[in-house]
Amino acid sequence: MRKFMLLFIYALFIVHSSFAQIVPPPPSGYFDLIIVFPLDAQPAAIEAVRRDFNATQLAITPVTQARLWRMTTSFKSPLTSPLGSYSYSDPLDAVERVRGRTSGVGTGGTAIQISTPTRLPEVYAPVTPKNQPSGLPPLTNCMSETDFVVPSMGTNVVKVAILDTGLETDLGKLPIRFRNSVLARHAEGADARNFTTDYSSEYDINDNHGHGTSVASVVVYGFMRLGKLNCRIVPIKVLSNTGSGNLFALIQGIDHAIQKGVDIINISIISPDKTDYKKNSTPIELAIRKAGENGILVVSAAGNGNTDIDLLENRIYPACAPGANQMVVAAGGCSGTRAYFASFGQTSVDLFAPGEQIWVFGLGNVYRRVNGSSFAAPIVAGIAAALRTHSPTRNWKPLDCAIRGGVTQIPDFSALCSTGGGVHSGRALSSLGSCR
């Protein structure tokens, strides 16, 4: 009997663990903070901070150790606390108070960030042509795809995590059966995860929006063109079927991708967080840095707000989270210059890639044409994936070096991104041999 009870408790723990990371949004009067304490912070000290702010810890990521604390907009601290009673008119005030309270809790500063909403960049607007292509259409209608598709693939298998709205499955049922037969040949269903409240299971990543499925088709386009199957995509659902989410779910997705040993992470998502990043590293920055420590290149969209994201008032995450292993991509237009909607930044943005009239798979196995940096980023992620099939080591640095070294210099881009150019697949492949 005792053995049976132990097995029951263990099974209950497993079931609870599998659902523990799906966190509902805060109710009225509450907000969520993401906190990463220094590695040497003692559990008792962390617990004392949590009690002082009457916070509830809802989740903690296993790799990045990011904690989600739910806090009320007003609370009364215990009598033993020096904090007194406070009422927050702005969660940013809570960030500063928690930051002050954690001073000295471990070596170095504590990373704190509001779990702000995340969403898709503004421009998407898919168009479904009445006359569907009879075969695989060109990547874009307005540029030569030979510049953006690597001409040959190596033999290494590469894994690309796509943090988005998921991947379309057969009626969202388990076990996972991907509806698009082409993408199904590339998808890793066992590694897929859901961090949204769309479905109760963390394994149900059905995309009922279409954005994630479209992004996935861009990542594997070059492999489809050459008939190669050595690009494996890992769908990680961090945005709901309405295209919305939160920053903690995005960090959860990065954490999960690290655990699954991916080579590249594509993030076509933005969050307009205004946390003062200059005081300490932010949790999203630490998550990206941890991915780099595990050899992972992160490719992020620059957004479609037609703004300079170097300016503090225009900053978005994750694009503006400093990270040597993050490559931020802006949308180029059909004329070879910046797309009319494309955001830019000489420091925050690394390069441009096509972002207009991109052919993608839509829901229901139909082709669509789309615009946006959401699709410029996976073009670069797909090129990086192709380079990884040639690269002897699992390391983001050669991929980053080759892509930067192969850009096409364009005068109009000189003040809009750090490389001053647009991605070029052939030159990136030629540069790979000299990159270490």
Mean pLDDT of all residues in 67-78? 78
Rounded Cα distance, 432 and 398, in Å = 6
CA 247 – CA 32 distance, rounded (Å): 10
Query: What whole-number percentage of the chain has pLDDT above 90?
Result: 71
Residues 6+ away with beta carbon under 8 Å from 291: 254, 257, 258, 265, 298, 325
3-state secondary structure labels for all residues of 102-165: CCCCCCCCCEEEECCEEECCCCCCCECCCCCCCCCCCCECCCCHHHCCCCCCCCCCEEEEEEEC
Q: How far apart are CA 257 and CA 262, in angstroms?
A: 6
Contact 237, 197 (CB under 8 A): no
Region 307-322: mean pLDDT is 93
Categorize the per-residue pLDDT at 9 as very low, low, confident or very high, splitting at 50, 70 and 90: very low
For position 278, what pLDDT does the model report?
A: 58
Q: Which of 192, 248, 217 is nearest to 360 (CA)?
A: 217
Q: How confident is the model at residue 108 (pLDDT cuts 50, 70, 90)?
A: confident
* Contact (CB, 8 A) for 413 and 422: yes
Domain spans of the chain?
24-115, 145-432
Q: Is residue 393 very low, low, confident or very high in pLDDT (cuts 50, 70, 90)?
A: confident
Would you place residue 29 in the very low, low, confident or very high pLDDT band (cuts 50, 70, 90)? confident
Does the pLDDT at position 398 exceed 60? Answer: yes
> Measured between alpha carbons, how far is residue 419 from residues 296, 347, 372, 408 in Å?
21, 9, 20, 9
pLDDT at position 89, please?
A: 64
CA distance 386 to 382: 6
Return the minimum-mean-pLDDT range out of 45-54, 123-132, 295-304.
123-132
Q: What is the pLDDT of residues 109-142, one digit of tens each?
A: 899 999 999 999 987 678 899 889 988 999 988 8
Q: Structurally, what CATH architecture does the domain formed by 24-115 represent? A: 2-Layer Sandwich (3.30)
Instruction: Give me the pLDDT at residue 86, please.
Output: 60
Q: How far is CA 383 from CA 73, 379, 403, 433, in A?
A: 46, 6, 8, 15
- Residue 16 pLDDT: 38
pLDDT at 81: 56
Please enumerate in sequence order all residues whose Cβ is within 8 A of that of 90, keeping only pairs 6 or more positions apart, or say none: none
pLDDT tens-digit map of 410-423: 999 999 999 999 99
pLDDT of amino acid 95: 85
**pLDDT attached to residue 172:** 55
**What is the Cα–Cα distance from 266 to 101, expressed in whole angstroms?**
35
Write out pLDDT tens, residues 355-386.
999 999 999 989 999 999 999 999 999 999 99
Question: 145-432, which class in CATH?
Answer: alpha beta
Percentage of the chain beyond pLDDT 70 is 89
What pLDDT score does 173 carry?
63
Residue 158 above 60 pLDDT? yes
**Identity at 323, one-letter amino acid code:** G
* 5 has a pLDDT exceeding 50: no
Question: Over the chain, what is the mean pLDDT?
Answer: 89
Decide: 286 and 111 in contact? Cβ < 8 Å. yes
